Amino acid sequence: MGNRILLVEDDPDLHIGLALRLKSVGHAVCSALDGREVLSTVQRERPDVIIMDVGLPGRSGHEVAQDLSTNDETRHIPIIYLTARHELDHRLKAAERGAAAYLVKPTSPEQLFAAIDAAVIAGKMRLET
């Protein structure tokens, strides 16, 4: 059985492609198209993992991750960054916010699926502690 994944990507073509790919291997996908929608979507959908871009309209992925990591109800949810931004400062900000993985676009489906599996395990471990 797949996991419940919140996909936060503002590029419509990429969003659709990723959602289809994730669904094809059994994951349930819910969506947010900008940084302002994420918290309400997380509270409503309760995802197992979040896949999120850095460059989002409204609020950046880093800002959203900061909010999620400091909220008792959401800090256990692992975040996988999937972004075109490869610069060290973005990687460091992601690490500071507890990112489960930082993947640079384009990435292979295998790399994404492996990151999801590892992130879900880490999220379950966070819940137990």
pLDDT tens digit sequence for 6-56:
999 999 999 999 999 999 999 999 999 888 999 999 999 999 999 999 999
pLDDT on residue 1: 62
Q: Are 52 and 28 in contact (CB under 8 A)?
A: no
Return d(Cα 10, Cα 30) in angstroms, integer. Answer: 13
Give me the domains of the chain, ranges plus CATH numbers: 1-87 (3.40.50.2300)
Tell me how crowded residue 36 is: count the other CB atoms within 10 A of its CB.
15
Token pair for 65: 């991750």
Three-point CA angle 80, 84, 90, nearest 5°: 65
Tell me which residue has tokens 């959401």: 74
Instruction: Map residue 104 onto helix, strand or coil.
Output: strand
Phi, psi of 77 (to 5 degrees): -80, 120
Instruction: Map residue 4 onto helix, strand or coil.
Output: strand
In 68-111, which ranges are E strands? 79-83, 101-104
Give the global pTM. 0.93
Return d(Cα 68, Cα 41) in angstroms, integer. Answer: 12
pLDDT in tens, 51-71: 999 999 999 999 999 999 999
pLDDT in tens, 58-117: 999 999 999 999 999 999 999 999 999 999 999 999 999 989 999 999 999 999 999 999
Instruction: Map residue 80 onto helix, strand or coil.
Output: strand
